[in-house]
Amino acid sequence: MLGLEILATDSSTRARRGRLTTAHGVADTPAFMTVGTRATVTGLTPDDLRTVGAQVLLANTYHLMLRPGIELFRRVGGVHAFMGWDGPVLTDSGGFQIFSLAADRTISERGARFRSYVDQRMHMLSPERSIELQTAIGADIMMVLDVCIDSTSDEKATRAAMERTHRWALRSLAAKTEPRQALFAIVQGGLVPSLRGESAAFLTQHPFDGFAIGGLAVGDTRTQREDVIGLSAELLPAKKPRYLMGVGTPPDLLHAIAAGVDMFDCILPTHLGWQGTAFTSSGRVKITRAPYAIADVALDAACDCVTCTKFSRAYLHHLFKCGEPLGPRLLSMHNLHHYQALMRGARQAIEAGVYASWSAAQLEAIDRHEHGAVRPGRRLPEEA
């Protein structure tokens, strides 16, 4: 049960504004999905997430299979009831986590065999097992199990991983049993344009509910990412959602929206928030730096979140220096609010047909270390 309605398109970019319908509600696109890896967004409650405007949460199959385990989800009726969240949930298949376990896993055609970090037991995660787990978790959107490798790997290794990803995708599709749960395929191919084209052409022949662009932000540069995203998004069906996996600085999002991507996720807003870094309308702020100890001003004067309207930079600095958990919590709420506000602004700009100029203005306001020189909305060579 998944449907994407395109409500508006931008006149000078490929940006599009839509509405995604799932079994647990509707999400407006472009949408940034908040990462709650272990069925929780660190330090925040579901009410907090609603306050910051979160629409879709992302949980991770690999972590949830190890703790609390599939039987608990079957007993309680899925992740929504377990964590008290009634909105849409997307589950990653576990492929990236397997990739990161180079010393403790073996990959074969059957799947990935790895050692649990919880109890040191060995597990086999196959495409069929991944779908079984995601079905029990109760995700509204499931991902096929894919083979992740460094994006800068040579063409031979990249092709082998891509072709296995294709075979695993078809096995994942065959294993799907619940019609209310959508299944997305993942376009791979590293930084090789011909492989990206081949992957998109193969996967779009099959009845997946949406398509993701995977295998980026693992060794590539921003320019390389932008080129791959632009190529891949153009090759995906216009009537199905397009999801860029795990790529998520504000400039990354602005460029990808211009390329026609609908959905995003990234751990940066909360991960960096817990480290004392805030995303603001004028770039990143490291709140633990000494000058902020006496900065009696809002974190971001342009932001209307609870952190910015009630607390000063000096107070936030104080919380971090004292090791008080309220500091990371307030920065996480601000960062997530900032990302959702960016998405709302993008949707409004697309509706007004001014996304190119709006996004360029957003980047102009961000510190130089936050982005490269290329502006979103630039015409690709074939469009000039």
Within a 10 A sphere around the Cβ of 106, how many other Cβ atoms? 13
| CA angle in degrees (0–180, nearest 5) for 207-188-381 | 100
Contact predicate 337/303, CB 8 Å: yes
Contact predicate 9/350, CB 8 Å: yes
| Rama region for 354: left / alpha / beta (φ>0; ψ in -120 to 50; rest) | alpha
Asked if 300 is an active-site residue, the reply is no
Asked if 10 is an active-site residue, the reply is no
Positive or negative torsion for Cα 59, 65, 68, 71: positive
Which of 220, 252, 262, 265 is the catalytic position? 265
Where helices occur in the chain by DSSP H, the ranges are: 46-52, 61-66, 70-76, 79-83, 95-99, 127-137, 155-175, 193-203, 222-234, 250-258, 268-274, 306-310, 313-322, 326-352, 355-365
Which of 10, 92, 209, 220 is the catalytic position? 92
Which H/E stretch holds residue 146?
none
State both tokens at 350: 């697309």
Catalytic residue positions, numbered: 92, 265
